[in-house]
Structure 1
Amino acid sequence: MSQGEPIRVAQVVGKMLGGGVEAVVMNYYRHIDRSKVQFDFLVDADSTLVPRDEIESLGGRVFEIPPYQHVAEYQRELQRLFKQEGWKIVHSHINALSVFPLRSAKKAGVPVRIAHSHSTSGKGEYAKNALKAVLKTQSNRYPTHRFACSQFAGEWLFGKAAHFEVVYNAIDLDRFRFNAEARAQARADLGLVGNQFAIGHVGRFTAQKNHTFLIDIFTEVAKRRDDAVLLLVGTGEAGASVKALVDERGLTDRVKFLGQRSDVDRLYQAFDAFVLPSLYEGLGLVGVEAQVSGLPCLLSDAITREVDVTGECKFLSIDSPVVWADEIDSLLPYSYEGRLSISSGQFADYNIELQGKQLTYKYLDLYSRN
């Protein structure tokens, strides 16, 4: 690095598919001091949604590497890149799989190697959980520093006795604050009429997000209330099977598949309630976003209580859709008067303006000491 140039940090993000982790990294990239710190993104070649134009416009670079499923080739290419580019900091965001890039980074002599836990594990994903269990035994072997999106996620990957730092999945709070005009426009754009009760969910169509159970919940809700509609934001491999289930239940006209969206902040405005029945989450950042929007939030009891910033979230068992339907049935359509009262101070840990500055300082400090 020449004098006056920003330091460059290699961000290992795995597959960029429009999911939560890469959104978090991009959000930090937009809000760090890029005159002092720049990001280079190492992404799997089979990624489908790489924001290359934005990254390059901000001063970053994108390096495509073999998919991590090809472990030997993946590690060889990473080791070659780490030596070629000379990054002093490698920050890996791929949870238990961070063993592989950080092993390559250590072999290449990278002095600062950060493992970042964004997730955990949950019931039902037996093969995936078995692999995670094996990789976790090596999770403290290669990193020099450990970050996690929550205490829960950090203890899951690194162990309760390990030292790690919680780096919050921060957001632009102003984007998500409730706005009555934005609500009216968003509902009109979605074709919602009058006081239709809009139940919202944001998440990729994967087993983790438990969409089948969500459809079970809505099937029960639909029997009770004619005004209810379900809005699903996201894409993924399970999308087709979820649509088939909706058709099978006769709910096609009452469930809207909104796809991958860049205006999720506007969609929260249209919702009357937010549901997240995930099998597991490292944190469940969408739950934080929904709270900033003032929405009542019904969350799986498998999700850490750390997500409950307002103290108003309800955590429900993912064994009984009737329990969820009972809670939803007790809610009324929300006008702007009905939204929860939110204060900025409550969400200071998630304020990207503050957290972006802190991450900038962290990188500069780590760089200066190595």
Structure 2
Amino acid sequence: MIRILQCVNDMHRAGLETMLMNYYRNIDREKIQFDFLTHRPQRSDYDDEIESLGGKIYYAPRLYPQNYPKYFKWMKQFFSEHPEYKIIHSHIDAMSYLPLKAARKANIPIRIAHSHNTAIDRDFKYLLKTYFRFKLPKVANYYCACGKEAGEFLFPGKEYMYVPNAIEIDRFLFNENVRMKKRRELGIKDEIVIGHIGRMSYQKNHKYLIDVFAEILKKRNDSILLLIGVGEKLDDIKKYVEKLGLSEQVRFLGNRADVDELYQAMDVFVMPSLFEGLPVVGVEAQFSGLSCIFSDQVPEEVNFTNKAMFISLNEKKDVWADKVIAAAVDKTNRERPELKNSIFNIKQSTALLTDYYKKLINNTV
């Protein structure tokens, strides 16, 4: 059996984490097993399921600059105690420099950096992340990306393996009965439901979305905005909604395990992100038959149906509002059985990732 050490921040319900779980559930675990190196002290949403599937979870020190000496000491000890790992696959973008540097010092032969974004989040580590992005080729010797733009951003001039943000499509294909059941649970009748799923963070641009929704309400006051997700900006976003007097129409649903059903309840999916790699939620929403309105900062690679539209963030918000309303009231049949043959079908993509891991191991032996 090949044991792969998947390196993440944590395993809460978010885009890359959900993508990893999709592959993990579908891979042949008698041949390939995933274990997870996390950088948060607490347990995460997916930890119980990981352990039920035979995976191990390790909790490394936080990647704060003041922790770096402690972190490298911990990693040195970790690799000395776990010689079974020949592959470390890191998913924390530019910050992958740190665990992969530790892995190189420990002579781990296969060190994969995986790009999931097309920009660097502007937090207090922005300058460090920019430096680590430049240094990444010094410690990684293989590269993966969720799309062309993500690969070119983090690994300019390097060859990389395309790993689709694939999903378990049968959970997401449109079902009218599920739609009606979920809308009843949410107390929704004939209202227009605009949906968004994403971490409450700078990247996802929620304030802009709230402003667009305020314009929508001027035109259609029978509209509801569902916000699914949590994050560091949650309190700020709630305060902004209250300030605009939209608390009745904006519903904060938190992290949810039933997102597949929540898509069914929506009429349109909106994502005005400041940057993205290739959003898993954009894939899920399209399999659910939803029209999707993305910002022009979302790579067009996500569009694999005729139901996605890209709008500039410089466009007036009332133009956004008109486009969202038009998409929401479009009654085109949401059932799309032909999508089963898409590259985003996890059944097809798992075989590609399995072959990739096996090839790396065979080339190293």
CA-CA distance at 1:120 after TM superposition = 2.2
2:294 counterpart of 1:310: no
Whether the 8 Å contact between 2:287 and 2:336 is mirrored in structure 1 is no
Candidates 60, 71, 75, aligned match of 1:78:
75
Q: Distance in 1 between matches of 2:166 and 2:324?
A: 28
Q: Which residue in the other structure is 2:27 paired with?
A: 32
In the other structure, the counterpart of 1:187 is: 183
Q: What residue identity is the alignment partner of 1:350? A: F
Query: Which residues of 2 match residues 80-99 of structure 1 at below 5 A?
Result: 80-86=77-83, 87-99=85-97
Q: 2:133 aligns with which of 126, 133, 136?
A: 136
Deviates more, 1:80-89 or 1:107-116: 80-89
For 1:258, the equivalent position in structure 2 comes to: 253
Matched residue of 1:10: which SS?
A: strand
SS at 1:350 equivalent: coil
Are 2:9 and 2:40, in contact at CA under 8 Å, matched by a contact in 1? no
Residue 295 of structure 1 contacts residue 340 of structure 1 at CA under 8 Å; is this kept in 2? no
> Does structure 2 retain, via aligned residues, the 8 Å contact 1:17–1:47?
no
User: In structure 1, what is the Cα distance between the partners aligned to 2:207 and 2:43?
Assistant: 25
Q: Percent identity?
A: 42
Aligned match of 2:199? 204
**Which residue does the alignment assign to 2:52?**
57
C-alpha separation in 2, matches of 1:200 and 1:211: 12
**CA 1:344/1:109 → structure 2, altered by over 3 Å: closer, same or farther?**
same
Contact 1:16 1:44 in 2 (8 A): no
2:352 aligned to which of 323, 333, 358: 358
| Deviation (angstroms), 1:126 | 6.9
Q: 1:126 to 1:61 in 2, by over 3 A?
A: closer
Cα RMSD over matched residues?
1.8
SS of the aligned residue for 1:318 comes to coil
Structure 1 stretch displaced more, 56-65 or 274-283: 56-65
Q: Which moved more, 1:35-44 or 1:306-315?
A: 306-315
Q: 1:66 to 1:126 in 2, by over 3 A?
A: closer
The Cα shift of 1:175 comes to: 0.6
Can you list the C-alpha shifts for 1:66-89, whole angstroms capped at 9, x where unaligned?
A: 111122222221222122211111
Shift of 1:127: 5.0
Q: Deviations over 1:37-96 (max 9, x none)?
A: 111111113345253321121111111111111222222212221222111111111110
Equivalent residue of 2:8, what SS? Answer: strand
CA-to-aligned-CA distance 1:92-114 (integer Å, 9 cap, x gap) = 11110111111111110111111
Deviation at 1:318, TM superposition (A): 1.5
Equivalent pair of 1:55/1:61 in contact (CA under 8 Å): yes
Contact between 2:198 and 2:204, CA under 8 Å: does it hold in 1?
A: yes
1:331 CA drift (Å): 3.4
Matches of 1:345 and 1:18, distance apart in 2: 24
After TM superposition, list the pairs within 5 Å mapping 1:283-298 onto structure 2.
283-298=278-293
Moved more, 35-44 or 69-78: 69-78
How many residue pairs are counted as aligned between the two chains?
360
Letter in 1 for 2:148: Q
Aligned to 2:323: 327
> Aligned equivalents of 1:58 and 1:126: distance in 2?
35
- 88, 97, 114: which one pairs with 2:112? 114
The residue that corresponds to 1:3 in the other structure is none
Tell me if structure 2 keeps the 8 A contact 1:288–1:307. Answer: yes
Distance 2:19 2:13 in 1: 10
Question: Is residue 3 of structure 2 the alignment partner of residue 8 of structure 1?
Answer: yes
Are residues 1:369 and 2:363 paired? yes
Write the deviation string for residues 101-146 of structure 1: whole angstroms up to 9, x where unpaired. Answer: 1111111011111110111216x83755433321111121111210
- Aligned pair in 2 of structure 1 residues 76, 297: CA closer, same or farther (>3 Å)? same
Unaligned residue ranges in structure 1 (runs of 5+): 1-5
In the alignment, the residues of structure 2 paired with residue 38 and residue 277 of structure 1 have an alpha-carbon distance, to the nearest angstrom, of: 36
Q: C-alpha distance in 2, partners of 1:107/1:292?
A: 43
Secondary structure of 1:16's counterpart equals: coil
Does the aligned pair in 2 maintain the 1:292–1:342 contact within 8 Å?
A: no
User: Cα distance 1:139–1:328, how it changes in 2: closer, same or farther (>3 A)?
Assistant: same
Q: Would you say 1:174 and 2:170 are equivalent positions?
A: yes
Match of 2:219 among 224, 231, 255: 224
Secondary structure of the residue aligned to 1:82 is helix
In the alignment, structure 2 segments of 5+ residues that lack a partner are: none
CA distance in structure 1 between the partners assigned to 2:355 and 2:76 by the alignment: 27
Q: Contact between 1:154 and 1:164, CA under 8 Å: does it hold in 2?
A: yes
SS at match of 1:236: coil
Q: 1:176: Cα distance to partner? A: 0.6
Q: Can you list the C-alpha shifts for 1:148-186, whole angstroms capped at 9, x where unaligned?
A: 011110100000x21111101110011110000000001
Runs of 4+ in 1 over 4 A off after TM superposition: 126-129
Contact 1:33 1:357 in 2 (8 A): no
1:299 partner amino acid: F
- TM-superposition CA deviations, 1:214-266 (whole Å, max 9, x none): 00000000111022110000111211111111111111111111110011010
Which stretch has the larger CA shift, 220-229 or 127-136?
127-136
Tell me the distance in 1 between the aligned counterparts of 2:304 and 2:341.
7
